[in-house]
Amino acid sequence: MNLRRRTIDPRSLISDNELSLDPLDSASSISPLTTTTATAAATTTTTATTTADLLTTPSNDVLLDVTLKASVWEHFERLIGVVPLTAKCSICEENLLTPNYGTSSLRRHLFQRHGLQQFGLNETPQPCVATHRLTRKEKENLDALAVDAIIQDGRAFGDFQKSGFKKYINALKPGYKPPTRNYIVKKLKRLHQQHTIYTVTEFEQADFLSVTCDFWTNRQQKSFLVITGHFIDKDFNEHCKVLKFITFEGRHFSKLIAEVIEKELISLGLFNKLITITCDGAANMRDMFNYFNRPHITYIRCIAHKLHLIICNSLNLWVKEKKNRTTTAMAETVEYDSSEDNDEDDLPIRLTQMIRSMSVDVDYISSENSLSKNGDDSSNEPQSENESTDISSDEDEWIDSDHDEEIIDNFIEGVNLQDVVLDDLQKQVKKVVHIAREIVNTSKRTAILSNFLEKKRINYNLQVPKDEHIKRRLSNDVKTRWNSSYKMLSTISMYRDLISDMFKNKGNIDLTNKQRKKLASIELTTDQWDLIKLLVTLLQPFYSATKVLSNNTYPTIGSALYLIRSLEENLVELESNLTLNALKAKVLEKFQYYLSKDTDQFNTLKMYGFFDPTGLAALTKVEQTSVEKQLTQIFKKSFVPTASSSTSSSGAAYTVPKSNNIDKAWEAFLKCTNKELEQEVTTATTTSIQDEFKRYKNLATKLYALKLLL
């Protein structure tokens, strides 16, 4: 059988069921099964007819088209039992395909092959639609930008396929179809492979490698391990890159952690270059060094973790106080769990809490709009680059920060949670911190109080200059980040006038009796407000030090040594306020316990900090001499000079560059402060390691002085 396939012209295709429209019976007999199949097919095809086709076709043309379709079958015979559906021309006996028994191909055959003009296809003009075609290069660039946006912003893979996104993108770039989820997954896998190759190539030039490890568990109880590599090349350029970011499915045993880290570094060809690992002080992380298949890997404990333990355990932020049996009823009222404060007002609060927990702070957006409508045109000023990226900008950093939801990591290891006996000052600190938490919880869980404070904040911002605006939100603290406690207390202190107004007007606010009693039980006294202010003053240097240590643009081991010495000097310095001095004494005790008395770790800090101008400036003369002796011993063991090397490398004369005005000025300053530079060796036949120490210390001192100047 000779079958000839015809292409259906979409412009003339009007789906219909010719069996139901044809008043004439076909020459061939049609079985009931065939009739049913054709009817179902015609029904499906009729559904596919678009409203636009019917609107653009006049009714008379439709009737004419139906008549032509019916008369088509006078010249064709349906072939029964043939798949696909086929019709045989009674004039030339050619078999033609008829999808769903459509007549477009049959009419075209009669018109073109046999010259039957009445079967000419009616081409109705279609509305002109402007099409926007993108070049392949444009499409690839836009897709790459979409993938970069997902990576940088941590967006879901299917975000660009959402209807709102697609409408917005189509308005910006008509004709562009954003990448699908499957495309993004494939692209990310390719990028992962490419960057793995780039990382291996980059770290091949490393002679020695240091890594930092971090372990944490998210709210879905899924554990993650991230390994970051650091090295300095021969040109003294620092290289820092995440080597592995993996899920950890096993138990958090030291042996398993060591095996995973060793396996991942071996896969990159870096394990034999490893010399130090910086991680927190959890027991499983400390003990993993016993299970590596290579000795002499130095453990450096995270200083930020130590600062966390110093603050939490010196101020007893999370301990449970042992209560005496004679505890008063008022104290019991203050100490009761806030979770019991669930009354009939909790139900309407749920929606507000859900909205407030979204990533976009709707309240903040609306409040800023209110400010702009009330004449604050300063929001239209362009924001400078420094203003948006400066890590010291606390206002912008805290606007939407909320630590109510806690992520579990090893920073909780070592935090004292047990019952302890507290002295009077410790009890006062614990009580004021507890009340601060209750104020935050109560205001955030009660929509009326939350709205009251928000309106007060907006009115306050309208009355003060822009640089005095309150942009922060009340936020609670968590056990795994001590700086969250500082942020909570600092924000509470900033809201002092607003919170005082809330306490004064509690009788006028639409609250239940239970809520009013709760609010009255957590009202701060003047002495407690003053204590909060002292705590903020005490903790502010530690907060700044933590931010310096959290920077990833420069090595921080030298800075850590300098910060430790500076913080210790600050704690030793006496103030005019006796309560502040007592608080400093409490913190200093834990400070020395976790830092100064940890001899091994502190000596490691001094050794590595010696090679950082900032760390060198923090070392005393005695400590510098001690480190130099250790380095001399290492030098003698590791480097045995030969006759040729001593003349080639050590025998060359060292030329001191001519000092410029800045050098002379700093030399004069250092001389008058008893920090005169040591005499350098300018020409010599041999140069000892002691001479190298002198040169390095002179250069490091100048660099440190220049750093302070800048």
Q: How far is residue 549 CA from its own chain's centroid? A: 18
537 pLDDT band, cuts 50/70/90, is very high
125 pLDDT band, cuts 50/70/90, is low
When comparing pLDDT for 556 and 241, which is higher?
241
> Over the stretch 194-210, which tens digit does the pLDDT of each residue have?
999 999 999 999 999 99
* pLDDT of residue 534 exceeding 90: yes
% of the chain surpassing 90 pLDDT: 34
Least confident of 393-407, 505-519, 549-563: 393-407
Sequence ranges of the chain with CATH classification 3.30.420? 208-301
Do the beta carbons of residue 238 and residue 232 sit within 8 Å? yes
* pLDDT of residue 151 exceeding 70: yes
Do the beta carbons of residue 96 and residue 86 sit within 8 Å? yes
What is the three-class DSSP state of 303? helix
Average per-residue pLDDT for the chain: 75
Class of domain 208-301: alpha beta
What per-residue confidence (pLDDT) applies to 554? Answer: 72
* pLDDT of residue 475 exceeding 70: yes
* pLDDT of residue 708 exceeding 60: yes
When comparing pLDDT for 699 and 658, which is higher?
699
Q: Which of 91, 123, 124, 95 is nearest to 110 (CA)?
A: 91
Do the beta carbons of residue 515 and residue 446 sit within 8 Å? yes
When comparing pLDDT for 665 and 443, which is higher?
443
Residues 96 and 114: their CA atoms lie apart, in Å, by 14
> Over the stretch 418-468, which tens digit does the pLDDT of each residue have?
778 888 999 999 999 999 999 999 998 888 999 999 999 999 999 999 888
> Over the stretch 234-282, which tens digit does the pLDDT of each residue have?
888 889 999 999 999 888 899 999 999 999 999 999 999 999 999 988 8
* pLDDT of residue 477 exceeding 70: yes
* pLDDT of residue 327 exceeding 60: no
User: In this structure, what DSSP letter does residue 481 have?
Assistant: B
Q: What is the rounded average pLDDT of the residues 119-134?
A: 61
> Over the stretch 624-634, which tens digit does the pLDDT of each residue have?
999 989 888 88
What per-residue confidence (pLDDT) applies to 321? Answer: 63
b/e per residue 477-513 (b: at least 16 CB within 10 A): bbbbbbbbbbbbbbbbbbbeebbeebeeebeeeebee
* pLDDT of residue 701 exceeding 90: no
Q: What is the rounded average pLDDT of the residues 570-579?
A: 93
Q: What is the rounded average pLDDT of the residues 165-194?
A: 91
* pLDDT of residue 615 exceeding 80: yes
What per-residue confidence (pLDDT) applies to 113? Answer: 85
What per-residue confidence (pLDDT) applies to 71? Answer: 80
What per-residue confidence (pLDDT) applies to 95? Answer: 87
When comparing pLDDT for 515 and 681, which is higher?
515
671 pLDDT band, cuts 50/70/90, is low
689 pLDDT band, cuts 50/70/90, is confident
HSE-CB of 682 using CA atoms within 13 angstroms: 4
536 pLDDT band, cuts 50/70/90, is very high
664 pLDDT band, cuts 50/70/90, is low
> Over the stretch 16-37, which tens digit does the pLDDT of each residue have?
333 333 433 333 333 333 333 3
Least confident of 86-90, 153-157, 241-245, 677-681: 677-681
Least confident of 51-55, 178-182, 558-562, 604-608: 51-55
What per-residue confidence (pLDDT) applies to 391? Answer: 36
379 pLDDT band, cuts 50/70/90, is very low
% of the chain surpassing 70 pLDDT: 68
Output the pTM of the full model.
0.64
Q: Which residue has the tokens 């050590």?
A: 650
* pLDDT of residue 576 exceeding 60: yes
Could you give the angle at which helices 346-356 and 447-463 cross, rounded to 10 degrees? 50
What per-residue confidence (pLDDT) applies to 481? Answer: 85
Q: Which residue has the tokens 């390095």?
A: 696
What per-residue confidence (pLDDT) applies to 456? Answer: 92
User: In this structure, what DSSP letter does residue 278 have?
Assistant: E
What per-residue confidence (pLDDT) applies to 550? Answer: 81
When comparing pLDDT for 57 and 313, which is higher?
313
Least confident of 121-135, 213-227, 252-266, 436-450: 121-135
**Both tokens assigned to 708:** 């302070």
User: In this structure, what DSSP letter does residue 327 have?
Assistant: -
3-state helix, strand, coil split of the chain in percent (to 5) is: 55, 10, 35
Least confident of 128-137, 290-299, 664-673: 664-673
Do the beta carbons of residue 95 and residue 79 sit within 8 Å? yes
Q: Where are the beta strands (DSSP E) in 90-208?
A: 95-97
When comparing pLDDT for 181 and 51, which is higher?
181
